[in-house]
């Protein structure tokens, strides 16, 4: 039996809402907090290492 591309892409309205809520929940609860911690922590680590190896602490002389 051959399937058309249109048949494969059909998503029922109830399923679409469920997928959207799951995606929203994943992004809001997991993705954004994890990315925030990684980006801010990475920036802080970069500043810290630049002070250790290149620039020294602020106001050192």
User: Per residue in 6-52, pLDDT tens?
Assistant: 566 677 777 888 899 999 999 999 999 999 999 999 999 999 999 99
The answer as to whether 33 is a domain residue is: yes
Range of the domain at 27: 15-55
pLDDT at 16: 83
Tokens of 43: 């920036």
Number of domains in the chain: 1
Helices (H), the chain: 5-8, 13-25, 32-50
CA 44 to CA 41: how far, in whole Å? 5
The answer as to whether 9 is a domain residue is: no
* Other CB atoms within 10 A of residue 51 CB: 13
Tokens of 54: 């290149």
Q: Given a cut of 80, is residue 55 above it in pLDDT?
A: yes
């Amino acid at each position: 039996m051959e399937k058309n591309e249109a048949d494969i892409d059909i998503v029922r309205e109830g399923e679409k809402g469920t997928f959207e809520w799951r995606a929203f929940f994943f992004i809001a609860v997991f993705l954004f907090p994890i990315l925030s911690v990684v980006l801010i922590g990475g920036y802080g680590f970069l500043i810290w290492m630049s002070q250790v190896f290149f620039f020294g602490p602020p106001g050192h002389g």
